[in-house]
A and B are shown apart, each in its own frame.
Chain A
Amino acid sequence: MNSTPGPMNFSHAGAAPSVLLTGTSSDAHTWNLVYLQLVLEEIGHTVANLGPCPPDELVVRSCLDLRPGLVVVSSVNGHGFNDGLRLIRALRADPELAGTTVVIGGKLVTDGLRNVGMVRRLTAAGYDRVFDDGELADFRAMAARSPYRAVS
């Protein structure tokens, strides 16, 4: 498929981003990404926003190229659990990304229920945190503690 090969929106051209923000391979939603980029920038991060529907290889390659301190995966289309699981396995399979902080959040399943088994499987596969739909305050606090944040 011929598609856009890199990030769709950078906070600061040229600078290495402190956060890589991305959708999941099957998810076309973007308002979540636009919103989370603003949230992250407001707490001092520089953000490379990969945009919607990135194939897993694009996320892996972007992590290797940009070396973000924090990777934020957002999905709301209901496939987030399935796509997120596949993505984290691809990321963690690369030894250079074994230590990168990666978190995921949004509406990850189709039934709107928070499901303990799902959170356990996502963390077991390598996510450092799984955020529920409404856990934005926790997310802000976590992102603000990230040591890679640019000083603002």
Chain B
Amino acid sequence: MTTAPPSAGSPGAPAAGSASFGAFVARAYARGELVVQPRMGFGDPGLMREGLERTRAAEAVTVGTLTLDSYTRVNDLPAARRAVAEGVPLNGYPLCTHSPAVSRDLLDGVHGPRFPVQVRHGSPKPEHIVAALLSVGLDATEGGPVSYCLPYGRTRLDEAVASWRTACAMLAAAGGTTPDGRTAGGGTAAGRAADRWRADPRPADDEPASPGDPVRLPHLESFGGCMLGQLCPPSMLVAISVLEGVFFARHGLRSISLSYAQQTSPAQDLEAMAALRALSDELLPDIDRHLVVYAYMGVYPTTRSGALSLLEAAARLAVESGAARLIVKTAAEAHRIPTIADNVEALETAARAARSAVRRPPVASDLDTEVYAEARALVHTVLGLHEDIGEALLLAFRQGLLDIPFCLHPDNAGLARSFIDSDGRLRWSDTGRLPLPVTAVAAARKLTSADLLTALTRVQRTYDPGGIR
């Protein structure tokens, strides 16, 4: 891709030569290259290793992924153990079930400064996963107290917030920082939080992370840009991402990324990315950070050509909007767990599309948008609720000031509704109690199953041959 002069080095950028995930991405960004990453996970360690090796060898600048299986995500480790023992195919890698030695072998010689690996999971209570990843020498992962709770089951939001405080502290402690950002040694608050969790015996047979490695800079990405995968207005996605970033920073993380998933309108997506950049510049000035684009996270095109052209559009969005990393989807998305070959094809397709796109320098008028105005109102309303960001998030959901359309979770107010407008943009049909100008255009008519399916399949129908039907 052709680039504007690099501007990646945010104030807290890690030193060149660092082994960290954030530093790898920052170096690629400075060279004008988009990092592409799969969402790959297999139950079998041999296959998982091969998947990482072939991701690394793909013709693209890549980082690796261990996507964990659903039993590990919900902390049903007995079920994961039984599945491994009985050879039941899993939808991801059971990191807490295979022994640390098996996982270290699988990473050995693949994971390293030139190929950092991130653990992706979807767990509202991730302490067992964070302990396991640290114990096998990894320190990059993903999630957040909101984005890994409301879309991922029935765990209460207050429990998820408490767990994510501990998880952040464990990660931060592995990098030698405390929640207030000071560099510190052994008896810190962060260290104590991690110890407290370790003292409570859970099934993971973890080992303490190696302390005090000066180049270890744990990385945490917010999944806030993907809430429920689809039909969530971009302003809300941006707001959750930024708020989770603030949560991570206040809990001691020094290297983070904020996400946004491609939605129904390319123009609106660019506006959302500009809003995400501006709000993170404003609220997270002093830490290493980058922006991540996800290829569409909702109902995917069923055809190969449709799936790959949607992915190419996501790659263009990532480059044009100045994202540093792209999470790809494969041509198998609508059908089954993708194979290694499906993933390699997606990585190389995305990298090709990225090379022909141009990074657009930000201009002031980028923020003259509905998305930015809404996202800014949401973020600042929430930050004003309480000095503790976790409490602020809980209050916001309790009061319906944050509200995710179509989310069944009982800690979500469920008053706000969204729709795809005639110009293709995702907007609020009912703002419920959101701190936004009131709209309630949908209240008149009850949504039918056919209406819902039409909205859910809009992107799929746009990209599958035959066009929008």
Contacts and interface: CB of A to CB of B under 8 A. Distances in A.
Interface stretch (A30-38, A66-74, A97-105, A120-128): A30-38
Interface string B117-159: 0000010010000000000000000000000000111111001
Given A1-B75, A3-B155, A77 B70 contact: yes
A79 interface: yes
Contact of A42 (B75, B299, B449): B449
Contacts, number: 106
A28 B149 CA distance: 10
A33 B409 CA distance: 12
Contacts of B74: 25-26, 28, 53
Contacts of A38: 447-449, 452
Contacts of B336: 78, 107, 110-113
A123 B125 CA distance: 35
Interface in B59-95: 69-71, 73-76, 79, 83, 88-91
Task: Place the interface of chain B in its size category.
Answer: 35 or more
A53 B154 contact: yes
A9 B229 CA distance: 20
B410 interface: yes
Interface in A114-139: none
A110 B47 CA distance: 15
A110 B449 contact: no
A109 B90 CA distance: 9
B154 A8 contact: yes
B154 A31 contact: no
Given A34-B408, A53-B154, A78 B89 contact: yes
Given A28-B70, A31-B456, A54-B154, A82 B449 contact: no
Nearest to B152: A28
Nearest to B447: A38
Interface in A14-57: 25-28, 30-31, 33-35, 38-39, 42, 49, 51-54
Given A8-B408, A111-B89, 19 more contacts: A1-B75, A2-B156, A4-B410, A8-B409, A26-B76, A28-B73, A28-B122, A30-B406, A31-B230, A31-B406, A33-B408, A35-B453, A38-B452, A49-B408, A52-B154, A52-B408, A78-B89, A78-B91, A79-B71
Interface of A: 1-4, 8-9, 25-28, 30-31, 33-35, 38-39, 42, 49, 51-54, 77-79, 82, 107, 109-113
7 contacts: A26-B70, A26-B74, A28-B153, A30-B151, A35-B453, A79-B71, A113-B336
